[in-house]
Amino acid sequence: MDNLQDRSGVPLEKDFVTPIVADVFGASQDTLSTALHWIILLMIKFPELQQRLQKEVDAVVGRDRLPALEDQPRLPYVMAFIYEVMRFTSFVPLTIPHATTADTSISGFPVPKNTVIFINQWSINHDPKTWDRPEDFNPLRFLTEDGALNKDLTGSVLIFSLGKRRCIGEELSKLELFLFTTLIAHQCNIHPDPSKPPSMDYNYGLTLKPHDYHISVSLRDNMELLRRERGRSVVESKPPRGAHEG
The torsion of the CA quartet 117, 118, 123, 127, rounded to 10 degrees, works out to 30
Count of beta carbons in the 10 Å neighbourhood of residue 238: 8
What string of H, E and C letters represents the secondary structure of 35-96? HHHHHHHHHHHCHHHHHHHHHHHHHHHCCCCCCCHHHHHHCHHHHHHHHHHHHHHCCCCECC
Q: Taking Cα atoms as reference points, which of 147, 182, 137, 176 lies closest to residue 32? A: 176
- Does 188 belong to an annotated binding site? no
DSSP code, position 133: S
DSSP per residue, 205-245:
SSS-EEPP--EEEEESS-SHHHHHHHHHHHHHHSPPTT---
Query: Residues at the annotated binding site?
Result: 167
Query: Residues at the annotated binding site for heme?
Result: 167
